[in-house]
Structure 1
Amino acid sequence: MRTNPERRAALADAAVEVLARSGARGLTFRAVDAGAGVPAGTASNYFANRDDLLWHAATKIHERLGPGVAELAAYERAAPSRELVAEMLRGLLERVREDRTGYLALLELRLEATRRPGLREALTGTIRANLDGTIQGHLDRRLPGDETTVVLLYLAMTGLIVEQLTLPEVLPASGSAELIAALVDRLLPGT
């Protein structure tokens, strides 16, 4: 396998774009090569098989959708509060809107995981680890709410994100900040 990290990252980004555009069935080495603008056969030199390509795409999606260093630093400087929780949720939604294809690709991977046990195991591990990290970070920062609160926020935001990206007319984007504020008010009343 080739080890050029920049080329591997470009191929993984192309895989994310292919997943979002064509779904898991359309994710082929040839499609990734075309999406990355590299010669045919390049992706197969970097990924052992389709499962390896799917795994690297999943990893790339989580990198792309995660908060940046500046965003994390701003959250760390802020005092723990309900307002900070709402700000963090709005930041998440904004990152997803900015990288719509990344989240759509994640949805495609989730669907594909229902048919591929190996991908399901890997994706479950990654998403569970992310959720556990979010819970622990919330508790360590002494943000209002407990573990169950964080899980409920996660579930609500997942639903809001899916609506915004797949059927945006159901819940207009203009109302998402108010929905997030109401969610925080109801899950973290008077804290």
Structure 2
Amino acid sequence: MRQNPARRAALLDAAIEVLAREGSRGLTQRAVDKEAGVPVGTASNYFRNRDELLVQTGTRVYERLDPGEDALAEQLAPVRDTASYAALMRRTVARITAFRSGYLALLELRLEATRRPGLRTLLTQRVRADVDANVARHEDAGLPGDATGVLLLYLAMNWLVVEELTLPDVLPEAVRDELITSAVQRALLSPGPGAA
């Protein structure tokens, strides 16, 4: 197999676009070749089969969604209260929705993972690592709330992104902003079950 990293990345970026536009059924090596503007058969030189293409595409989506540890630390540094935490959540949602094709491709990959154990393993490991890292960053920064609050925000923000990308007219922007503020306040400041 060829190992040109730039070509591999271009093919995977093309696969992301195909997944976002055509869904998982439309993701073929030929479709990737066409999207990437390379000769027919190029993708098959890099990916043995469709399963490998799907797994590598999942890896690439996460590479492109990850702002990096330095950027995350910089974004988290000014967060000290619910207002600044809500602002961070708004920026995070905006960053993720700006990579529309990537997130839509990720949704397709999640659905495909219900039928493909290798892809399910990759996505499970990656999402678990992201969740654990988010909780650890939150705790290390001494922010209000606990691990459960962070998990609730993770779930709420993910569905807000899905809503924004798939049915953007359901919630006006002002309502989304209010919901983010409310979610942060409730998830991080509300006492948990059994609290006095």
Identify whether the pair has TM-score above 0.5, normalized to the shorter chain: yes
Whole-Å separation in 2 of the counterparts to 1:79 and 1:163: 26
- Which deviates more, 25-34 or 68-77? 68-77
Residues 101-128 of structure 1: per-residue CA shift (max 9 Å, x gap): 1100000001111111221122111111
Whole-Å separation in 2 of the counterparts to 1:70 and 1:84: 19
Whole-Å separation in 1 of the counterparts to 2:86 and 2:74: 14
Structure 1: gaps of 5 or more residues: none
3-state SS of paired residue (2:189): coil
> What's the TM-score once normalised by structure 2's chain length?
0.90
Number of aligned residue pairs: 191
Alpha-carbon distance, 1:172 to partner: 1.9
Written as runs of structure 1 = structure 2, the 5 A alignment for 1:7-156 is 7-67=7-67, 71-156=71-156
Please report the RMSD computed on the Cα atoms of aligned residues, expressed in angstroms: 1.9
Structure 1 residue runs of 4+, over 3 Å off?
68-71
3-state SS of paired residue (1:188): helix
Alpha-carbon distance, 1:71 to partner: 4.0
Work out the percentage of aligned pairs sharing the same amino acid.
57
Whole-Å separation in 2 of the counterparts to 1:83 and 1:66: 24
Residues 109-154 of structure 1: per-residue CA shift (max 9 Å, x gap): 0111111122112211111111111111111121211110111001
Structure 2: gaps of 5 or more residues: 192-196
Whole-Å separation in 2 of the counterparts to 1:142 and 1:59: 31
Whole-Å separation in 2 of the counterparts to 1:23 and 1:79: 38
Alpha-carbon distance, 1:87 to partner: 2.2
Whole-Å separation in 2 of the counterparts to 1:132 and 1:165: 25
Alpha-carbon distance, 1:70 to partner: 6.9
Whole-Å separation in 2 of the counterparts to 1:68 and 1:91: 15
- Which deviates more, 11-20 or 129-138? 129-138
